[in-house]
Every structure is written in C-alpha cells, then in structure tokens.
Structure 1
Amino acid sequence: MAMEAAADGALAPVMSFALVGVLGVGAQWAAWRLRMPAIVLMLVAGLLIGPVLGVFDPARDIGPLMGPMIAIAVAIILFEGGLTLNVHSLRGAAEGVRRLIFPGAPLGWLFSALALHYVAGLSWASSAVFGGIMIVTGPTVIAPLLRQARLNRRPAQLLQWEAIVNDPIGALAAVLAFEVVLVLNTSETMGTAIWDMARGIVVAAVMGIAAGWIVAEAFRRAWVPEYMKVPVLFATLLMVFALSDSVLHESGLLAVTVMGIWIANADLPSYTEMRRFKEHATILLVSGVFILLAANMDFDRLAMLDWRALIFILSVIFVVRPLTVLLSLAGTRLPFRERLLVGLTGPRGVVLVAVAGLFAERLVASGVEDAALLGPLAFALVAATVVLHGFSLRPLAAALGLAGKGNPGVIIVGGSRFAAAFAEALQKREVPVLIADANRARLRSAREAGLPVFFGDILSEAAEHGVEIMSYGRIMAVSDNDAYNTLVATDLAPEFGRDNVFQLRRAKQESRRHALPSTLGGRAIAGGLTYLELASKMSAGWKVRATNLTEEFTFEDWRSRNPEAVALAEHDEGGELRLIPDEGEPRKTKGTTLLSLAPKTEAVKEGAEGENEEKAG
C-alpha cells in the first residue's frame, strides 16, 4: 500500500503526520533562533511543501481525516486558552475585556459585514456569515505573537482574553447568520432557526459548566490519580466537544472554552502542571494546523481574488479593526496608547480559515454562489495579518512604550548587600532588574540605591499579577534560605527556561544525604559560593566591579591580576547579558564588559586594568 502511494506521488499518512510535526516544530525553533515571528515561518513552510513544491497535499495524503483533525485541534487550542483565563489575572483589564466582547463583538460583526459587501463586493448573505467569523482575532496567532513581542501585562491580557473569548462567539455568530440565510433560501422557518440556535448555546454553556465542575471536583477529592489527570481531561474535553457539536454545529467551541475557564478558576492544586502540559500540546497543534491549512491552499482558488480583495484586507486592518476597538473602549480608563495598540493588532488565525471553509461549502450548496470566495479571502486575510503583525507588533509596542526593553532583565530573589551591588551594576548597563524579598528590612540597601524592588514572595499571586514578567528573562535565587532558593528555581524554570534560572550553591550540597536530583533547583552562580560565604566576602569589603575587555587588556590579563575574583556576568557590545554559571566560563571576547566580585585589595590595579575597570558597587 505504501509503495503504491509512493508511486502515485502521494505520501503515506504516517509520513504526512511526521512531516507536519517536524516542519511545525522546526519552524518554531528556527523562529526562536532567528528571532522572527514563528507564525510567518510556519505559513511559509506550509506553502512551500504544499502548493509550491507539491510534496504534500492534505486532501490527497490525509483525505477525510483532515476536517475532524482540524476541528479537534481547534477545540483543544480553545480549551487550553480557556484554561489560562483565571479571573484574578484580569486585574486592571477587566473593563477593557468586557467592552471588547460587548459591544466589541457586535460592532466588529457589523463593520466587517459592511466592508465585505461594499468593498469586497460580496452578497449580503456571504457578508453576514463571514462578518461573524471575522470577530475572531485568532488565539492560535496571538499566543506566539505575545511571546515574541513581550508586551506589558495589560495590553497583552486584553489581546489574549479578547482572542479566546471572542473565538467561540465569532463561530456562533457565523452559525446564527447561516441559520438566517437558510431561512431565506429554504423552507425552514425563522422560529425553528431561532430555537435551534438558542438550544445549542444553552446546551453548550450547561455542558461546559457541568463538565468543568465534575472534573474539578473529581481532581479535588482525589477520585482521579495524578498520572491519570491529563488523560481524563483530554477524554472529557473530546466528549464535551462532540456532544455539544451534535446539538448545534460549532457550539462545541463554546462548550470547551467554558469548561476550560471553569477549571482555571477552580483553584486546583494540580492546575499549574495541567496547564503546562496543555501549553506544550497546543504548541504542537498550532504548528500542525497552520502547516495543514497552508499546504492545503490552492493557488487557483487564490487567483479568484481581484483588486477589491486587496482593498478589503487593507480596510479591515486599518479601518474596521481600529474603529471597532476605539469605539468599544471609548470612555474607559485605559490610556489611549493601549487602545491604539489593541486597535492596530488584529491577526486572524486557524479558526477563521477552518470555519470560513466549512460555511463556504454550505452556502454554495444553498445557492449563494459568491460564497466560493470566502475560503481564499479568509486565507489571504490570515496571511496578510500574520505577516504584518508578526513583524510590526514588537516595534509598534516599543514605539508606544508598551513593551519590555530589548534586553531581557534579571529578577534577583533575596535582598542583601550582594544583591543590591549586583543589581546596581546591571542597572548602570540599562539591564532591567528587580529585587524581590518578603522581608522589607532586607530591601533597604536596594531602596537606598534607587533600585526597583518587590516586597513579597515572588511565587505569590500578588507577584504573578503585579510584576511585569515579560521584562525579565532570567532569575537568580540568592536568599539565605537554600530550600526556598531551590523552590523558586524549580517552580519558575518552566516559565524562564532552565538555562535562565540560577541559584546560590546549597550549604550541604556535597552531602549524599542532602543531594537533590538534577530536576530540582537551578544552575549554581557566583562561583559556587554559598550564601554565608558570599555574605562573608561582602563584609570583608569585596565589591562588584565592571571591567572592559579589549585587545590590550584581555580576560587572561584580568585573571592574572585578580586570581581570587569571581566572574558573575558579561555584557557584550550588542547589549546582550550572559550570567556565568559555576560550570561555565566567560567567552573572553573583546568589547565585553565583565562583571565580577573582587576583593578590595585586588579590585583596582595600576596601569591597564585601572583604565578599563570601574567600580560597580
């Protein structure tokens, strides 16, 4: 069978799935390495293997499985999105989110339908259905864009909540418009259409709430063992989606979203582990769905579009979206620059293309001929918004002062003289820095030096909602409590990446009784010093110093003059900071500023080093 498929130029289904997975994950990895928007590379990869090279044709190689696969993937993506929507995270953005949903969704539907009819030239039937779908801004696209752009907390929350909550609303709006079209084109009565619609929405909401409550209670009462929680969650999600969709098509999206939001707000002890696993699954699904949809596009269908389609896309990006957002948020306390950023950011994604293709076929079958343009128009709109926002969101946010600095900063957990001295050295190099401690007295040195501080536990809910985490890319746990340092490093490693989490060496680390597995804690820093050893050196007059390495004064010259000094970090000419772990070595490149902890007697030497070294703290 595989040989026969190969002879026809088709890929075997297993090879097709493997190709989609490799390209999807590979595009995300390449985007991380190249610092490019991942969505753009996924779109390009899908187009290359599909319509350009003809290597992979989903309709040919996967066949009837493609539709159900995309439907299930979108459902899981929406559920994961709902799972991130804890109402406590809405602090400061709740009013804006409510306004973006209502009146935002109805306004977006109206303006989109008007643009489709008067600009794109579609009939009112096609415009009403597609206008409803265009409410969706694409949670599958927003998540990687926000990860890349590192926006401030409130605009990021606005975009994330709007995308996830409006996603099922947009699909249901399209269902409502489609039911109306059926009434006008078939013998179905308006009363029947309204009844079907209301029944589907109520059933979806009830099923979502009921499933979320049952799952939360089962997990809380330990009716499900830990290793079974994620499988149970997946199975329940699929059943809820299928049952709700059988009552009213596309209502399953609403049901799984409601289920996810309910579980997110149930305050479950295992919630964090479940969410992280779901995030990993979503990355795979987003990648796969984008590759599939791009590879499935036919250039002959895109050729159906004319110049009016281009004008329509431009009007959606620069007129419809900004007008909808600015009118919806008028009178709120949100700063105008935040409203403007949200108004100029409206990428469309997987749900738009998938749902548009579905309703296009049904409308054509119902006698609406120009509905054949909906599929190509949806894909063109997704491609245009993905590319535009992929490259413009970060510069736009930076221009409006709503993005973290280009160089990710450092959170130092544990106030001390060393923490204040090192933070001051980083701040002088314009590296964002924050010192966090639950003991106000330990923050005195940092406050006196004018350094940013957070009074409280860095693992607390207050820190989660009060610290602009997007501005920081590394964390150092340097408190006097080894167990707490290990807890901080272990808990935050998934957020920052294990290579970016550091802690002081534990006092009893060498003892077999106290040795911990490699899965716990972070990388040792400060030359492997313990807290007491570090405090002793600071009391003896050791200082944090900054030394510029040049061709005339190399790292070897610095080391020969300061044999006892401890290399802490290096800051290169491009502004990139690298913390030096205990097992690592400085890169020793010229033009780099080396930050170190040096004894007072050897801190400043005559000659070349004196010219290259400055006191940092």
Structure 2
Amino acid sequence: MRGGEASRCPRAVRDGMVRAPDREEPPRVPTDPLTVMCLALAVGLFAFLLAGRLGIPAIVPLLLFGMASGPWGLGLVRVDTLAQPLLRSTVLGAVLVILFEGSLSLRIDAFRRHGGPITRLVTVGALITWVGATLVCHHVLGLAWRTSLVIGAVLIVTGPTVVIPLLRSVRPNARLREVLRWEGILIDPIGAIAAIVTFEFIIAGEAASFGPALLDYLGRSAVGLVAGAIGGVLIDRGLRRSALVSRELATPFALGVMLLTSVLAESVAHESSLFAAPVAGVVLAALAPPRLHEIERFNGEVTTILLAVLFTLLAASVDPASLRAIGWRGALGLLLGLQLVRLVSVVASTAGTSLTWRERLFLAWLAPRGIVAASVASIFGTELVRFGLPGAERIVPVTFVVILGTVIIQGLLARRVGQWLGVLAPPQRGVVIAGATPFGVALAKALQRAGLEPVVVDRDPRKIAWAEREGVVVYEGDVLSPATYADIDLENTGVYLAATTSDKVNGLAAQLAREILGEKAVMQLPSGQHTFDLLQSGSAAMRSPLAFGERFTLTALDDALLRGGAEITVREIDRPMTAGALRASQRTDFRPLVVIDARTGRPAFVRSRGVTLPPGKVIGVEKLPPSLLPDDHECELAES
C-alpha cells in the first residue's frame, strides 16, 4: 500500500481483514479450528431461530451476531486464528454446496418461457451493474478506479440464499418468481469469475490488456460449464442404477460427484468451480433422476448449517470500525446509487419482452446481495490488501454495507412494493387432490363451482379419461414424484388432499407436499383399508392429519356418492356459525368439507371438533347414509 494511505489504516486492516485487533488480550475461548467452527455454527443457528421468530430475513441477525461475536466484539468466534488457506477452502466448499442446492429447484420449462429477460439480466444487466457500481464507488465513496472496479464486479451478484427465501415470503406472480430465481442462481458464478479476472488484471499491472482478460473470463466459464454438465450427467446415470448407488448413498453420491467435478474444474481454472456446481444442479434437475427430491431436501438442510457457519465467520472477520468509517452519508449515497444502477440494468435487459412496466419496477427494486458477494469480497479484499492496492481495505466493509442495506430495506419493503405495483400472486386458490376417485372428482367439481382451481393428480389412463370427461383438470403423473409437484406449481396451492386408495401412498405423498406447503395445509383421507388399525398402531402411513375426521373414509364416501345418493354441494354463509348451526338453519345433514374465507379468498379443510366457520363459501357433502351422519358438534379448520 502506498505511504499516506497505509499510515492512516489500522494495523489490523493493513495486515488483512481477519487479523486480531491491535490490543493484546488472552483468548477468552479456545482458538483451535474445530472450536471456532462449532461456535460459529452455534451463533449462526441462534440467528436463524431468532429470524424465524421475528419473521425477518435470516441474513440480518447472521451478520449482526457474526460481527458482535468476532474478535472486535465478544471474542467468541476467533476467526482471526484460522489459517487463510483453511478459511478460503471452507468458504469455497460451502458456496459450492449452496449453489448446487439452489440450482436443483430450477426448471428448464421456466427458462424456455422466460429465457429472454433471464439471459439479458445475467449478460447485459451484469455488465451494466459492473460499470454502474464501479462509477458509484468511485464518485460517491471516492475510491480509486481499480478498487472500484473490483467492488463493481463483486456487486454483480444478487444471491439465491437471500432471493429465494424472499420469494417464498413475498410471493410475487409466477413470472417474476421464475425470472428472479434463475437470475439469482446464474448471476453468482458470473459475478465471481468477473471478480477473479479483475483481480488478476490488477495484479498484472501494466502488462494487463483487455483482450487476454476477456479470453480468460470465457475460458474459465467454459471449463465450469463443461465440468458441471459432466457432473450432472454422471450423477443422473448413477442414481438410475440402483445396483450401483443404493437409496442410502444417493445424496452422498450426488454431493461427492458434484464436489469432485467442481474441484477438478477449479484445478484447471480458478473459480470455474462456481460455474460447475450450479450447472450440475440445473442438468440434474432437467434430467429428473430417481430420488432427486431426497437429494434436494437433504441439501437444503445442509445449506442451512453451512450458511450459519459461513455468514458468522465472514461477519466476524469485519471490524465494525471499518463500517463506521464509511459513514451514513456514504452508505446512503452508495445504496441509492446502486438502486439507480439496478433500475437502468432492468430497463435495458427487459426492453421488448412480455414483462409489464409494473413487473420491471419490481425487478428493479429487488436485488439483495448475499453469501457469494460476502465470500468473494472477503477472499479478494484480503489478497488485494496484501498486494498493496490503495483502498483495498474498504472492499469488505463496502460489500457488507450493501448486503445489510439491500437485505433490510429491499427485503422488508418488498411485499409493500409488490402490493403497490399489483404484481403479487393472487390468494393461493389452488387445490391439489391426489387420486382420481369418485369422491376426488366430485370434490374437484364442487371446488370449481366455488371459484377455486382444483387439480386432480393420477397416473391411471382410464381414471384420467373419466375425470376429464367430468370436466375436471387432471395432471397425469405420479403423486410420489417431486417432478409432478414442480409442474403443477404447488406455490399457488392453498390446500392439498392425499386421497388415493392406498394409505401408504397417501402418507408418502402428503410428506412431499408438507415440505412445500407446511403442516396445516396438507390433509390425508383414510382409504378405509385397515385404517383404524393403522391409526391405533401409529403407522407411518397415517402421520398426516386426517381430513374431515375419523368418521369419513374414501371407501365410505365413494360408496355414498355412487350408490347412496349423496351429493357434494356449495353453500354460502354471511356470518360466522358452527357446523351444527348451519345444519339447523338449512334443515339438512350437510357436512362441511372445505371452507373459502370471504375475506382472504383462501381455502381451508374442515375437521371435526373446534372452531366456528368464517363467512364465505362452504363445500360439503349431504344426503349421507345414517352411518356417516355427523354429530352435532362444532368444527375445526385446518388452515393453509
């Protein structure tokens, strides 16, 4: 670093972002790598728990707790004692798993529908962001051009670890969800490789030139693309051969092959692994091998652990004094400037597409930075400080200011912005019924009359043909396949009913649906085959809550509809009332099954025992045989 600037920097900053502060204090906790990692995990998991309790993005408490627990705070997580090669390898390995996990949720058919804006956002939009962020850092923060160029490359990324959870909570329309999800996954390796090429361009000094740097970028990207495609195909081939890869080894096999091909790519071209991991995930998702859902679920759990450790370690390496040095004026100018750059990027990238101006404004609003930006900034910031680049010590704090600012401001206001622009998804009016049985089809027809959007799932061609003749929307697919639920878009589903003729299939199908919709929105209808024996034994086949109470079974309802003259009808109530009061007022044996709340428009199952029905439409069954007539007691809603 050059004279005047170097003398003004604290020693901890001059010598690297993760050195201990100048004051010499005996460590208050053990500083061996295992203890540091375990303490980082404990702090990170506590942050996740708090975020879930408060309903805020987890990255906010992760960053705050990480800085508070680091060497400049409470001294719990002594990240300054970790060797730099160990820290860098830990960060890279964790980021690879996170990118792989996020890419498994991408669907090729969504890219076919919205490929134009997605492609331009990660190419034209990335270039505009790079140039614009560089200008903002130079003119607003007064950083040197070369330092600004590195930060501009780092800030290209948005980050699936922040974007995807926000999409689940905000729920913009399907088109925006797909564009933002694809952009968040693809932009990370693009920004990371841009940062490494810029880093090497700066290191090369006067010998650097644009042509070789561009070829270097394209070469690294190509290595990652090829390695990722090979990795995805190898995982698919292995999973399709149960004699080679058993069910227990499916997830370790997939992770192992992905990491191996990514590391091999890394050995050929630095940072190409950041392309290899997501490409492997996209290829694997497109090929849809057996047990893909199990891999995705396990990777999601591992990702939570890795994020807890990674964010805590990276945040603990930042001196809070370096953030204060930027000042609130500098932070505000930086965030406003980047928001303007995002607007220009989105307008240029979506011109001529089918996106409305409201959707473009929402895209322009939502671009929070996440773990990849923090990781890349920490790695290259430290290296450039050692190289002596003027202002390099500000790369990490500037990046963390952007992460905190974009997550807090954009994340907390995203739903309000979406409501103002009118781009949020409509109420979850979808209903999925697993099983094209007489009861399932009759219920779907009644739900259609009530204004909902039911879909019946079955794979029996005869049942499908009959259901379609009845005017019901049917999806031909396996109720136990994750690909089925990806195609029918469970995110727009309010309730799910597992109602096939097999309790075992119902239990497994309900388990898949619960992981997306949550416990309350998924119900299971007993088939009638040894149902009560299963209930008493606590069988895994009957783990889900029972729809409509224990009195009703699929066999009994099918028989009542086909031979007993029962009907499924739609009634409307204008005030809260119990099921007993509804029957008394309308002089019928009407038994409510589903209620549509007039205020929210969302459906909910009705179960025996409990609360009052809200005003709205009620779908139920009447003209029941005596054995199915309900007791005169209230009902309990299983809300979505």
Whether 2:153 is the aligned partner of 1:132: answer yes
Deviations 1:44-98 (A, max 9, x none): 4434444896153341465654333222111111122233334233242112211
> Which residue of the other structure, out of 248, 251, 255, is the alignment partner of 1:227?
248
Deviations 1:371-407 (A, max 9, x none): 2111100000000011122212222223333323466
Partner of 1:167: 188
> Which residue of the other structure, out of 384, 400, 404, is the alignment partner of 1:363?
384
Partner of 1:218: 238
Partner of 1:236: 257
The one-letter amino acid of 1:9's match is R
Where do residues 270-419 of structure 1 align in structure 2 (5 Å cutoff)?
A: 270-306=291-327, 307-317=329-339, 319-405=340-426, 410-413=431-434
1:590 & 1:521 partners in 2: Cα distance? 25
Deviations 1:464-511 (A, max 9, x none): 566443222430134677676556434433332355321221121348
Residue 454 of structure 2: SS of its match in structure 1? strand
Tell me, which stretches of 5 or more residues in structure 1 are unaligned? 1-5, 448-452, 603-608, 610-617
> Which residue of the other structure, out of 564, 574, 579, is the alignment partner of 2:605?
579
CA offset at residue 29 of structure 1? 4.4
2:315 & 2:387 partners in 1: Cα distance? 27
Say if 1:482 and 1:601 are closer, same or farther in 2 by CA, change over 3 A.
closer
Identity %: 30
Partner of 1:450: none
CA offset at residue 348 of structure 1? 0.4
Residue 10 of structure 1: SS of its match in structure 2? coil
CA offset at residue 572 of structure 1? 7.8
Tell me, which stretches of 5 or more residues in structure 2 are unaligned? 1-24, 459-463, 626-631, 633-640
Whether 2:225 is the aligned partner of 1:205: answer yes
Partner of 2:3: none
Q: Does the 8 Å CA contact 2:499/2:525 hold for their aligned counterparts?
A: yes
> Which residue of the other structure, out of 59, 62, 66, is the alignment partner of 1:42?
62
Say if 1:409 and 1:292 are closer, same or farther in 2 by CA, change over 3 A.
farther
Whether 2:290 is the aligned partner of 1:258: answer no
The one-letter amino acid of 2:336's match is L
> Which residue of the other structure, out of 556, 561, 585, is the alignment partner of 1:533?
556
CA offset at residue 208 of structure 1? 2.7
- Select between 101-110 and 43-52 the one with higher mean Cα deviation: 43-52
CA offset at residue 10 of structure 1? 2.1
Partner of 2:18: none
The one-letter amino acid of 2:545's match is R
Say if 1:91 and 1:198 are closer, same or farther in 2 by CA, change over 3 A.
closer
1:7 & 1:469 partners in 2: Cα distance? 54
2:60 & 2:307 partners in 1: Cα distance? 13
The one-letter amino acid of 2:289's match is L
Q: Does the 8 Å CA contact 2:523/2:547 hold for their aligned counterparts?
A: yes
Deviations 1:239-265 (A, max 9, x none): 333333344432221222233233333
TM norm structure 1: 0.81
- Select between 237-246 and 108-117 the one with higher mean Cα deviation: 237-246
2:109 & 2:624 partners in 1: Cα distance? 52
Q: Does the 8 Å CA contact 1:414/1:436 hold for their aligned counterparts?
A: yes
CA offset at residue 536 of structure 1? 5.0
Q: Does the 8 Å CA contact 1:183/1:190 hold for their aligned counterparts?
A: no
Residue 391 of structure 2: SS of its match in structure 1? helix
The one-letter amino acid of 2:556's match is E
Partner of 2:132: 111
The one-letter amino acid of 2:456's match is A
Residue 524 of structure 1: SS of its match in structure 2? coil
TM norm structure 2: 0.78
Q: Does the 8 Å CA contact 2:71/2:79 hold for their aligned counterparts?
A: no
Q: Does the 8 Å CA contact 1:203/1:244 hold for their aligned counterparts?
A: yes
- Select between 46-55 and 296-305 the one with higher mean Cα deviation: 46-55
CA offset at residue 578 of structure 1? 5.1
Say if 1:445 and 1:291 are closer, same or farther in 2 by CA, change over 3 A.
farther
Say if 1:425 and 1:506 are closer, same or farther in 2 by CA, change over 3 A.
closer
2:545 & 2:178 partners in 1: Cα distance? 31
Partner of 1:606: none
CA offset at residue 132 of structure 1? 1.4
2:35 & 2:384 partners in 1: Cα distance? 34
Question: How many residues are treated as equivalent by the alignment?
Answer: 587
- Select between 38-47 and 365-374 the one with higher mean Cα deviation: 38-47
1:468 & 1:195 partners in 2: Cα distance? 40
Residue 9 of structure 1: SS of its match in structure 2? coil
Q: Does the 8 Å CA contact 1:416/1:445 hold for their aligned counterparts?
A: no
The one-letter amino acid of 1:434's match is P
1:168 & 1:375 partners in 2: Cα distance? 19
2:579 & 2:281 partners in 1: Cα distance? 54
The one-letter amino acid of 1:276's match is R
Partner of 2:492: 471
Partner of 1:612: none
What root-mean-square deviation, in Å, do the aligned CA atoms of Structure 1 and Structure 2 show? 4.2
